[in-house]
Amino acid sequence: MKIEAAELRVLELPMRFSFETSFGAQRRRFVPLLTLHADGVEGYAEGVMDHLPLYLEETLPGAVTFVREQLLPRVLGVDFETPEALARTLSVYRGNRMARAMVEMAFWDAWAKSLDLPLWRLLGGVRTLIPVGVSIGIQDSLEATREQALRYAAEGYRRVKLKIKPGWDVEPVRAVREALPDIALTVDANSAYTLTDTGALQALDAYHLKYIEQPLAHDDLTDHAELQARLRTPVCLDESITSLQGARKALALQAARVVNLKVARVGGHLEARRIHDLTLAFDAPIWCGGMMETGVGRAHNLHLSTLQNYTQPGDTASGSRYWDKDIIEEPLEAREGYQTVPPGSGIGVTLDLAFIDSVTRARHDVRPSAFPIPAEVY
């Protein structure tokens, strides 16, 4: 499949509500959207990096420049037989996994469309009905937290996740657990704690959580292993898992018993599939986290979630929860706590180009000679 041209946009989308985590509050998303043109089909993917390096090191301004001036010139005009061949070309670069994922995932979509197959079949998925949960940001009060949890439970979501931080942890968990004694309940700290906070995290053992997600620093497996040894509740790693080797070390060290496997964080579908197979070998369940994606990223997440070991409800809640209007034509809405993988070839969604034009803040049309790479980098 020869990649003939690419279009890279940056979209600005207002969110329906303020979503607060230990990093801060967010009211809008700037979304890099990539379209690859290859052999008469188009492949779509989006980036999940933020403007500031809060979640991980990559930033949106840096990623857009890197994709436009380095990654795309390497692949435009080149004929790749498989996604593996394209991934080998991109592997000369260290890190920048979210940026590389944009190109790899868009190629997967185009490749699946060229074969007239849904992406999940090429990935090796085993189901098309995906259990999903919901993530509740830090609220102004315990009552607001409880009310949101009750509303989402009534809508049928299979799991409720609460964002926590030091000083906002035991009390919101207690409030939700008392209101919903049987709901699958989890918490996500986004690296807000240290080992000195072990007592507060141990207090959460009393509330029968499915897991505590990313309590400590994103680059510290040793302390996570120490913490897991002190907790009854399983630790789930998110930001710490960026590669197959990182996942292997985390599981071997017993730094986690559950993995949040986000395709864009680990560089694309190939690496995600390798990590999936590793977690099967370790008997560690996985689930698909969310980065407040539009329908394009949500569709990719749903296709990946068809793999065998995605046994925990993911964060692929209804798109309408985040956006008044999505960038795709097809609504991706949960029903009774389940999402259905979009039917059709590729990721199964169609861009709403008129709406996308209205929210585009930057656009780059890239062709093979647009940004030639200096010979010394080969």
Kindly list the distances between the CA atom of residue 125 and the CA atoms of 30, 311, 341, in Å, as whole numbers in the listed order.
Answer: 30, 12, 11
Q: Nearest 5°: phi and psi at 283? A: 55, 40
DSSP code per residue over 320-374 = GGT-SS-SBSS----BTTEEEPPPSSBT---B-HHHHHHHEEEEEEE-TTSSPPP
Active site (annotated) includes residue 163: yes
- For residue 204, what are the CA distances in angstroms to 99, 152, 168, 199, 322? 36, 22, 12, 9, 29
DSSP per-residue letters across 281-314: HHT--EE-------HHHHHHHHHHTTSTTB-S-B
Return d(Cα 216, Cα 22) in angstroms, integer: 12
Q: Helix, strand, or coil here: 222?
A: helix
Per-residue DSSP letters for 240-256?
T--SHHHHHHHHHTTS-
Q: Is 113 a catalytic residue?
A: no
Classify strands 185-188 and 160-163 as parallel, antiparallel or unpaired.
parallel
User: Which tokens is 242 given?
Assistant: 């960026």
Q: Which of 163, 210, 249, 325 is catalytic?
A: 163
- The one catalytic residue among 113, 161, 210, 262: 262
At 218, give phi and psi (nearest 5°): -65, -25
Active site members: 163, 262
